[in-house]
Structure 1
Amino acid sequence: MVPHRPVRFGTGPDPPHGTEAAEPAPERVRTRGAVRVAAHPPDTQTERVDDRVREHIRVAGVVQGVGFRPFVYTLACELGLTGFVGNDVHGVFVFAEGPPSLLSRFRTALSEQAPPLAVVDEVTATAIEPRGDETFEIAISEPSGQRATLISADSTTCVDCLAELGDPGDRRYRYPFLNCTNCGPRFTIVTDVPYDRPLTTMAPFEMCAECAAEYHDPTNRRFHAQPVCCPACGPELRLTDSTGTVLPGDPLDRTVAALRDGEIVALKGLGGYHLAVDAANPDAAATLRKRKHREEKPFALMAPDVAWARALCEIDEHERELLESRRRPIVLLDRRPDAAVAEAVAPGNRQLGVMLPYTPLHHLLLAGTGPIVLTSANLSDEPIAYRDTEARERLAEIADVFLGHDRGIHMRTDDSVVRSFEGRELPVRRSRGLVPEPVRLRRELPRPVLACGAELKNTFCVAKGSNAFVSHHIGDLENYETLRSFTEGIEHFERLFDITPEVVAHDLHPEYLSTKYAVERADVELVGVQHHHAHIASCLADNGESGPVLGVAFDGLGFGTDGTIWGGEFLLADLADFRRLAHLERIPMPGGDRAVKQPWRMAVSQLLSCYGTEPPGGLGVLRRNEPQLSAITRMCEGGVNAPPTSSAGRLFDAVAAILGVRDAVSYEGQAAIELEQLADREERNHYSVALPDSGALPDSVSIDAGSPPLSVPAGQLVRAVVDELLAGQRGELIAARFHNGVAELIARLCERLRDATGVGEVALSGGVFQNTLLLRRTVDALRRRGFRVLLHSSVPPNDGGISLGQVAIAGERDRRGECSPERG
């Protein structure tokens, strides 16, 4: 979400980029199709009509494509002001003339009464000579100059449009593409700025006379709504088979029938294609899972409304607000035991990812079906399909029918995923509905920056001034399609926001495709950023802070400055530097990446680390994997293909395997997710760890000091798990006590580090903190000890937030003159 900046009134600085306060000649405006009416007289008795001043006002933020000009027009006419309003590459400009008191009211209302989709960052005003206009007008857009305007994210169908959708007397009755200035597609259809119809994928559709009349009427809800259309002039639905052959009959009715009959539908949405089946049909859900090659990862659901969602999940007030927000994300919710959902939708999972309809097409479909599975249309590990021909080719073996249309998607965008924590939004995947609205940086960047992000859950970020534009979810950079989506996305963002990066930030891992892309960029200065430092900087930037903080970065993998794999880190960090104060003890990761997919390997490594070559007998994980134990033991003991790691994610994997949760995973983080779900949330006891001697830490620690970090013996938690398991304790209690023990370890160690550093703020980041049980216990334990705790709310704690942290670090280092022009 974009935080508001203070609105500045009165005389402001000159407009940026050389656009002086002098306004265009009246003839220029009038000859370019401006809308005009006579202004009302002033509504005050205290000022004469000739007591007039004129101001050049600029409004920055998300103010294009959201009905801002007609709002300004109506407001000015109500106040009796004259002049004109228009769009340009900086945002919205206004030349307004009238009594000073009315201009003051006008400026205040520009921020406080803005349209629903607008986000006003700043209002500035410059006094100029009065001109004596008699009308207030709306000028057409001015496209020249360096771009600084912001683009709105796609937004759910508004109440007014929904009323038209269901009104048999309305000309847009049951029309799947109706929209207005308060809703509809934005980012996914924009090809360039300013945001006008010729620069969107609606350009091929010429408005009919009725739509054109609405579009040009400033009193109409569809005034300058760029995607405006109707059945006579807009996009059309078509239902086809996998070869592209159009099927007869009404496309909507046929699709509803197909879903009821258990067929798999490829559905073209706002940001790409989805695959849909009846959520209550076990055969359809199982077939979709088989064809999509998605063995166990949960599918998302779309419910017709909140009442339906409540029948599936427990929903508190904040979760309801998230579901019904204009962004319409997938919200992770606790599943009801009696939820009428096929087991194959989310096998063995206590939670469901639920969203509500966000397009007219969704509303029309779900009115006839009830809840449906709605998952990204792709094979496992591929980006979402969004081009029609590409979708038919890639999905021909999955979908039975294709419900498409002829409105193009310019930028593919997955659904956003969030959860609620302490009554605030905790993003898991930041994408549709949130992108491309910027995260505001605490300080302006000296030069434009591109941050290339991480390898998994990749996002990139382009930034200039105080705006950081974190991209939509790209995915794991492990194949050509995803890499192409990454490079195309960067090109689009650089063009859309007119950013030519001079500084490029990247991860330290030399084999990441994102790193290789950065190194190949010409004419830029490079900034290598350590992975976990980027996590903590991301949390700082998310909170508008600069540090220093005690940063706890817990995740699966990250390349360390010592060449080893980090992942359980305690850092003293600010936006430029960090020092590794402590870490979970390193253990071998037998088989390297294979240990990520086979958690039992990490269980064996932990057991060997704790007990040597003779771990306790009777452990199921050892019996189940007995044929391979000797090979894994040799790897760990000899250090062959067993890189050392301090990863917290691998610790959770090991405990999950020891408790018999699972030995192998089919998607990232599965074992840890299921371990969290196993845990009894009412259990408050915890396993303890004896912290190491802190003699290595002086009383005062600077960020760049050279003392070695403490190694924290997390294996003691593993021993406690094994002891209770062999004593016959329930897995639910053991899992809970392990979580509580990790939280207590974090809090106690932070307390010791505070004593040494004097720093009393803790930033929590990394994918492990998507675990809300661990997060809840950790936050509580830290607050009991008097810490102020920083959490994420705008970008995810996982690697999807890395790019924001890279931007923040690169900007601060650039400010200090520490960027490197060296290549390689």
Structure 2
Amino acid sequence: MDPLASTKERRQLLVSGTVQGVGFRPLVYRVANKHQITGSVCNQLGIVSIEVEGTVEQINRFIRDLEVQTKEPAKIESIEQSLLPLANDNCFRIKESKAEGISGYSFPPDLAVCSECISDLTHPSQRYYNYPFTSCSNCGPRYSIIQGIPYDRPVTTMKDFSLCEPCRKEYEDPSNRRFHAQTIACPTCGPIVELRNNKNVLVSGDWKRNVEKALLTGKILAVKGIGGFHLICDAASRKVVEKLRNRKRRARKPFALIVRDLQTVEENFELTQAEQELLASRRAPIVLLRPKPFLKEWLPLESLAPGYQRLGVMLPYTPMHALLFTDSLSFLVATSGNQSGLPIARTNEEALQQLDGIADYFLLHNREIGVRVEDSVCQVVDEQISFIRRSRGYVPESIPFPLPPFGVKEIPTVLAVGAEMKNTACILHGDRAILSQHLGEIEHEEQLTCWREGVQHIQELLRVEPEIIAYDPHPGYIVTQQALDQFQDYPLFPIYHHHAHMAACMAEHGLISPVIGCILDGTGYGRDGNLWGFEILTGDYLKFERACHLEPLALPGGEAAIRYPWMMAMSLLYQLEQDMFFTKHWALQLFPDVKEQLPFLLAQLDGRIPCPRVSSAGRLFDAVAALLGICVESTYDGEAAVLLGERAEMSSTGCLGKGNYSFAYSAGQWRVGQLIKDILGDLMLSVPIEEIAKKFHHTVVEMVIFGVLEAYKKTEIRSVVLSGGVWNNRYLLSCAKKRLKEVGFTVYTHQKIPAGDGGIALGQAVSALWRWHHHVFVRSSEDH
């Protein structure tokens, strides 16, 4: 045995990562006592500081054990060690937090209620029986209630609830799982619930029984959660689901379900191992799942998610949610509590005002929501997670990214303001990126206020001010105008939309060398001032080139064509023959209800009235969906394209089954005239819509392959990134990955952030940092 192993010493361990608010200090305490080590642990700004005293062997075993026992969502990213003088203390203690050190990334996401707390909730002998704010050191709200760091009760919205004696006893008991749980509360000392009707009158009696009665009689409830309000109703009642649609003016956009428990999900949905683990994880996102065939007999699936093969499903992630279920209620609709175009309601007052006319009852409580945080939404494609919306449960976890290679001693803080749709903002601080929660569409002042709140919240937690600003140069984005107005004296870096998409996927995977970027989305402002959206790019964080793209197509009606896909179908019909009579003939056959609007549309197509042009995969998908009669009017963003993807999945032939349509390529552009001609031919032959949709998807995959090979000929780059909202299409993503690998490319897809505009801020931020570095260090050194 090494004689030095028995030498006694004292070390300081500075632990970085997600180590505050996740039960890490109690874990340190238990592991230290297991190894008979003395010392202390406390929170500091951005880190947990541990002092340990014992033999070298004891301390080394303690560190190894601590690393092994640290489980999600806690995460150790680094441990910095240094020697200290011996203190000869006689125990191990959890000390008061210190507001010293440097800001960091240890503030945690909101955590789903754990099984132990659910057990307490359901046992009459427990003092937490039926208490909707039960939590412990392993679960409960975190990010949505944090108001400062280090993470302790006085800097959360729990600060107004003083602990009663039984709670304090549990809080101070190292053997109790509520040991140092900052959200601990009980019916005696914690938040309280009240049920009010739509006249704001308190409903007397037991709130749980009243809620059960309301749900079973077809009422709609506004329920205050941890990051905002949900609108909740009985998912088994077609009548009440349609009533919610009418009141919320949400014609066809799918509703998410919250299901009683994992067993109920397993009995009613087809689950892969990855889907099951994701659904039951402490992050508790909404996961898109395929229902078993018999479920349509119990739930009105077409009312819940019209045209979809999957439903968004989540498990109860708060005690409040769990208490909504009874023997008669196993499936509830849970959708964002907001009016169309407004942010999710956060306060009781906002809910009572904004949801008046939608909700019949309001289930309220007096714990403040510090910041709005909507539910995360994801799916599993080829056993890998694919985010549609990254928010609760994941934010504000940091994402590592590649730093510029040399010359940077102090890294400036970067704020990227994101895009207009599905907005998230991003802050780079040190070598980590913090992506905000989903902030939604930024088109009105109320939404811009929500954006300011989200950005300010992260800045306050990090205790930083931005030094560099990255933004999308689209002249119509109000979030861009906000950045230009608010930060006009800062270094400003415009990052083009599709370059940001490519850089986001690169940054997520830590790539430094140039890549080929396959960027497929709706529309984004291009370097030439036109609208792009179906691009093969080559480049890195500093620059990009457009290797090839879809031929520009007329966008008749401008942005109206996004809502009315039949207009984009008209554009494709005209593109095919450049003939007014041909276009009108097909338009009258396919879209007879729009006869009166045809003259104005045709005038735009033949140039008599000015019309923007667009090279967009999203608009191409829209047009084909309209041609096939799948969707001629979209009621929510991306509806036509999404439904086209769903129909492709319904086809009986497997992925990459035989058959795709023709396309031409010239002067760096894909030409789709023959593609449209072939689709019309199949329509005339009464080929099933599902088969046409699948062949169209195969054609898009082959267009991508062709474009990547063209880019490879010029650059010999073999790394390919797939980014842009169109890659949320499960079938397209799976097929493209397989084909690209078949022809010898290494493929990178988004797994930590959304492929759509919800991830674009990361690419903006990292690209801006690299450009700043190049300007400050590389150019200056070249000048000398």
Superposition pairs for residues 101-140 of structure 1, below 5 Å?
A: 101-140=57-96
Cα distance in 1 for residues equivalent to 2:423 and 2:317: 25
Any conservation in 2 of the 1:691–1:713 contact (CA below 8 Å)? yes
Q: State how far apart, in whole Å, the 1-side matches of 2:615 and 2:703 are.
A: 15
C-alpha change, 1:71 and 1:375, in structure 2 (3 Å) is same
- Report the counterpart of residue 656 of structure 1 in structure 2: 625
Structure 2: which 5+ residue stretches go unaligned?
Answer: 778-784
Following TM superposition, by how much is the alpha carbon of 1:521 offset from its aligned partner in structure 2, in angstroms? 2.7
| C-alpha distance in 1 between matches for 2:674 and 2:713 | 24
1:117 shift after superposition: 3.1
Q: Does 1:291 align with 2:258?
A: no
| Match for residue 26 of structure 2 among 50, 62, 70 | 70
State the one-letter code of the partner of 2:109: A
- Written as runs of structure 1 = structure 2, the 5 A alignment for 1:617-656 is 617=585, 620-638=589-607, 640-656=609-625
Q: Which residue type is aligned with residue 758 of structure 2? A: G
Please say if residues 5 and 57 of structure 2, whose CA atoms lie closer than 8 Å, have aligned partners that are also in contact: no
- Larger mean Cα displacement after TM superposition, 570-579 or 792-801: 570-579
Structure 1, 544-553 or 710-719: larger mean CA deviation = 710-719
Query: Are 2:302 and 1:352 equivalent residues in the alignment?
Result: no
Corresponding residue number in structure 2 for 1:562: 528
Q: Residue 439 of structure 1 aligns with which residue?
A: 399
Q: Is this contact kept in 1: 2:662–2:678, CA < 8 A?
A: no
Structure 1 runs, 4 residues or longer, greater than 6 Å off: 44-49
Shift of 1:809: 0.6
What does residue 615 of structure 1 align with? Answer: 582
8 Å CA contact 1:599–1:657 kept in 2: the answer is yes
Q: Measure the CA separation in 2 of the matches of 1:108 and 1:154.
A: 27
- The residue number in structure 2 matching 1:341 is 299
The alignment-based identity, stated in percent, is: 39
Say whether residues 1:469 and 2:469 are aligned partners: no
Q: Would you say the 8 A contact 1:289–1:344 is kept in 2?
A: no
Tell me whether 797-806 or 342-351 shows the greater mean CA deviation: 342-351
- Residue of structure 1 in register with 2:781 after alignment: none
Q: Match of 2:340?
A: 380
Q: Distance in 1 between matches of 2:382 and 2:412?
A: 36
Contact persistence 1:64–1:195 (CA under 8 A): yes
Distance 2:36 2:362 in 1: 53
Q: Is the 8 A contact 1:313 1:352 kept in 2?
A: no
Task: Tell me the SS of whatever aligns to 1:547.
Answer: coil
Q: Write the mapping of 1:4-23 to structure 2, written as runs, cut at 5 A.
A: none
| C-alpha RMSD over aligned residues | 1.9
Q: 2:659 aligns with which of 664, 681, 686?
A: 686
Question: Displacement, 1:381?
Answer: 2.2
The answer on whether the counterparts of 2:664 and 2:674 sit within 8 Å (CA) in structure 1 is: no
Cα deviation 1:418-452 (Å, max 9, x = unaligned)? 00011111000001111111111122782111000
How many residues of Structure 1 are paired with residues of Structure 2 in the alignment?
761
Offset, 1:116: 4.5
SS in 1 for 2:721: strand
Q: Given the superposition, is the C-alpha separation of residues 375 and 95 from structure 1 closer, same or farther in structure 2, using an over 3 Å criterion? A: same
- State whether residues 239 and 246 of structure 1, in contact with CA within 8 Å, keep that contact through their aligned partners in structure 2: yes
SS in 1 for 2:606: helix
- SS of corresponding position for 2:582: coil
Question: 1:334 Cα shift?
Answer: 2.0
Instruction: Determine the structure 2 residue equivalent to 1:677.
Output: 646
Residues 169-188 of structure 1 aligned to structure 2 (within 5 Å): 169-188=125-144
Alignment of 1:305-704 (within 5 A): 305-339=261-295, 340-342=298-300, 343-368=302-327, 369-443=329-403, 446-522=411-487, 523-613=489-579, 614-615=581-582, 617=585, 620-638=589-607, 640-679=609-648, 680-683=650-653, 684-693=657-666
How far residue 691 of structure 1 moved from its aligned partner, in angstroms, is 4.5
Q: 1:408 to 1:807 in 2, by over 3 A?
A: same
How far apart in 1 are the matches of 2:772 and 2:553? 36
> Which letter maps to 1:692?
Y
Change (3 A) 1:45 1:782: closer
Corresponding residue for residue 765 of structure 1: 723
CA distance in 1, matches of 2:523, 2:291: 30
Q: Any idea what the Cα deviations from partners look like across 1:207-250, whole Å, max 9, x if unmatched?
A: 00011111122232111111101111111111011233210111
Match of 2:678 among 720, 730, 738: 720
Deviation larger for 485-494 or 540-549: 540-549
Cα deviation, residue 284, structure 1: 0.7
**Segment of structure 1 superposing worse, 75-84 or 547-556:** 75-84
In the aligned structure 2, how far is the partner of 1:201 from the partner of 1:626? 58
Aligned runs of 1:177-326 on 2, under 5 Å? 177-326=133-282
Residue 611 of structure 1 and its aligned partner are, at CA, apart by 1.2
Kept in 2: contact 1:689–1:745 (CA 8 A): no
The 3 A distance-change label for structure 1 pair 666 and 335 is: same
1:5-38 deviation per Cα after TM superposition (whole angstroms, max 9, x unaligned): xxxxxxxxxxxxxxxxxxxxxxxxxxxxxxxxxx
TM-score (norm: length of structure 2): 0.94
TM-score, normalised to structure 1's length? 0.90
Provide the rounded CA distance (Å) in 2 between the counterparts of 1:223 and 1:372.
Answer: 34
What is the distance in 2 between the residues matched to 1:144 and 1:524? 28
Separation in structure 2 between the aligned mates of residue 456 and residue 774 of structure 1, nearest angstrom: 22
Counterpart Cα distance in 1 of 2:263 and 2:10 = 52
Deviations 1:101-131 (A, max 9, x none): 2111222223221254311111110123323
Q: What SS does the aligned partner of 1:646 have?
A: strand
- Hey, what's the Cα distance between the residues in 2 that align with 1:107 and 1:244? 55
Residue by residue over 1:446-466, the C-alpha shift from the partner in whole angstroms, topping out at 9 and shown as x without a partner, is 211100000000010112011
Displacement of 1:818 in angstroms is: 6.2
Q: Say yes or no: does 1:98 pair with 2:54.
A: yes
User: What SS does structure 1 have at the residue aligned with 2:324?
Assistant: helix
